[in-house]
Amino acid sequence: MQQFPCPFCGLRDEREFHFAAEAGKIRPDTTQPVSDADWAAYLHNRKNPKGETREVWIHTPCAEVFILKRDTLSMAVLGCEPLRKDIP
């Protein structure tokens, strides 16, 4: 069983975490018309990188979202940081 770090709770069992999104993905500006193709691409297309990646995860017990850095080849966890910069 792997352990993931939550920036708020520390190391916890991986079963307490859920993947939310790839980090840095920009939501289409919905104040302007968005084509079905652009919206579908935003919702469904992922880079799925091989190696080091930054992803948004949620820790279910504390309900906080954060950035998890990990290596998709070795499954090594490389670090974590709060998603919001105003949280110490």
- What mask of x and - would describe binding to Zn ion in positions 8 to 27, judged by CB under 5 A? xx------------------
Nearest to 85 by CA among 29, 11, 7, 9: 7
Selected binder of Zn ion within 20, 62, 77, 83 (CB under 5 A): 62
- The structure tokens listed for 86 are 């105003």
Q: Do 65 and 58 contact (CB within 8 A), yes or no? A: yes
Selected binder of Zn ion within 59, 68, 70, 80 (CB under 5 A): 59
What does the binding site for Zn ion look like in residue numbers (CB under 5 A)? Answer: 6, 8-9, 59, 62
